């Protein structure tokens, strides 16, 4: 028997591009993506976010145009973040019928009725202190914030939103919002929960984009410790029991293990947020010529899918859609 008779040859299935495609275990589709949009009530023209090249805050008047552009690329959904002209201690702009997100929801649905419009449901953009709820001293009052989250979610539903996405990591937020929506007659509005959201350094550029940097301290008393894995499963299962329709892990890149564990432990669709710091690092390295941006972005998105994500929220979504459409065409 020769040496070659003993060799197992996995390379046979890598020999041609066609064979590799035929046996590929994970694939990317434009249908996998949700594009974040920042709508700023205080501006009349786009304002680029310096730490996120290619991403801008847009005025309300541009929402329809941007949503139509997203839809034309085949991306099925957007998630809206609002920057209001006025802020207060409790974030009351979040449940104002004429608030910036409510107006943006109406504009988006008018421009592209088939686009799935998701509203981030939190208060950090609306409070004058930048924290995610009502403060008592320097502590966010969980239960007072729940009452306000109910009002915010109902207001978004009344404006025509398709899905609400609570992101503040308040205990009991899913059951409170589900109760509020159901009592207001919105039993069919789904909730995608930021169930597993870590207190992460990767969020830095987002806070420039959404004008939501805390005036003091950080969010470690309500967002999760990056060291904790079992706690992620606890948080996910609590939200399943409270009535979440989908779950999210945020950030994504440093938490691939968590995406897989939550996916395996639950039976709900799984989203991952490819956050601002992850985006900014790729953009900076690509600008320096250190990496092939297209190759790295597509590899990263594929990694999220391989880890278990069904949906990917990403600032790269427009580029990814163009690349995937070009490859198909």
DSSP 310: S
Per the CATH hierarchy, to which homologous superfamily does domain 26-327 belong? Answer: Aldolase class I (3.20.20.70)
| Two structure tokens written together for 195 | 């169930």
- Domain limits, the chain: 26-327
> pLDDT at position 224, please?
87
Q: Residues marked as binding for Mg(2+)?
A: 235
| 147 SS3 class | helix
Report yes or no: 162 and 116 within 8 Å, Cβ to Cβ.
yes
| Distance of alpha carbon 39 from alpha carbon 107, whole angstroms | 11
pLDDT in tens, the chain (329 residues): 566 667 888 989 999 999 999 999 999 999 999 999 999 999 999 999 988 999 999 999 999 999 999 999 999 999 999 998 888 877 878 888 999 999 999 999 999 999 999 999 988 888 877 777 777 777 788 888 899 899 999 999 999 999 999 988 888 999 999 999 999 999 999 999 999 999 998 887 766 665 556 655 466 677 889 999 999 999 999 999 999 999 999 999 999 999 999 999 999 999 999 999 999 999 999 999 999 999 999 999 999 999 999 999 999 999 999 999 987 76
Q: Report, in this order, helix, strand and coil percent for the chain, each rounded to 5.
A: 45, 20, 35
| Distance of alpha carbon 147 from alpha carbon 80, whole angstroms | 21
DSSP 268: S
Q: Residues marked as binding?
A: 122, 124, 132, 207, 219, 235, 276, 315
> pLDDT at position 4, please?
65
Residue bearing tokens 């805050």: 57
Strand partners, 312: 33, 272
Helix (H) / strand (E) containing 258: helix 256-265
What are the catalytic residues?
197, 250
> pLDDT at position 214, please?
60
| 81 SS3 class | strand
Strand partners, 120: 165
Q: Residues marked as binding for Zn(2+)?
A: 122, 124, 132
Q: Residues marked as binding for 5-aminolevulinate?
A: 207, 219, 276, 315
| Distance of alpha carbon 302 from alpha carbon 285, whole angstroms | 19
> pLDDT at position 210, please?
55
């Amino acid at each position: 028997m020769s040496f070659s008779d003993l060799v197992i040859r996995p390379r046979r299935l890598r020999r041609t591009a066609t064979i590799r495609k035929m046996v590929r275990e994970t694939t990317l589709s434009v249908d996998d993506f949700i594009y974040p949009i920042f709508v700023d009530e205080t501006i009349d023209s786009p304002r680029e976010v310096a730490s996120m090249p290619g991403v801008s805050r847009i005025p309300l008047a541009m929402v329809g145009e941007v949503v139509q552009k997203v839809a034309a690329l085949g991306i099925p959904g957007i998630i809206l973040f609002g920057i209001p002209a006025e802020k207060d201690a409790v974030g009351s702009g979040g449940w104002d019928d004429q608030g910036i997100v409510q107006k943006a929801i109406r504009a988006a649905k008018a421009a592209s009725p088939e686009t799935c419009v998701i509203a981030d449901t939190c208060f950090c953009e609306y409070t004058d202190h930048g924290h995610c709820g009502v403060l008592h001293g320097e502590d966010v009052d969980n239960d007072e914030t729940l009452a306000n989250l109910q009002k915010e979610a109902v207001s978004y539903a009344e404006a025509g939103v398709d899905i609400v996405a609570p992101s503040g990591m308040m205990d009991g937020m899913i059951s409170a919002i589900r109760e509020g929506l159901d009592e207001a007659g919105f039993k069919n509005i789904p909730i995608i929960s930021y169930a597993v959201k870590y207190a992460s350094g990767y969020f830095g550029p987002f806070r420039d984009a959404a004008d939501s940097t805390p005036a003091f301290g950080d969010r470690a008393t309500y967002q999760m410790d990056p060291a904790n894995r079992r706690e992620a499963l606890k948080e996910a299962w609590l939200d399943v029991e409270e009535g979440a329709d989908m779950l999210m892990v945020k950030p994504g890149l440093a938490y691939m293990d968590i995406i897989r564990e939550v996916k395996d432990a639950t039976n709900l669709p799984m989203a991952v947020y490819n956050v601002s710091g992850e985006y900014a690092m790729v953009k900076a390295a690509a600008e320096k010529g250190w990496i092939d941006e297209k190759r790295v972005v597509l590899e990263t998105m594929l990694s999220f899918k391989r880890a278990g994500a069904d949906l990917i929220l990403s600032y790269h979504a427009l580029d990814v859609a163009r690349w995937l459409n070009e490859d198909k065409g």
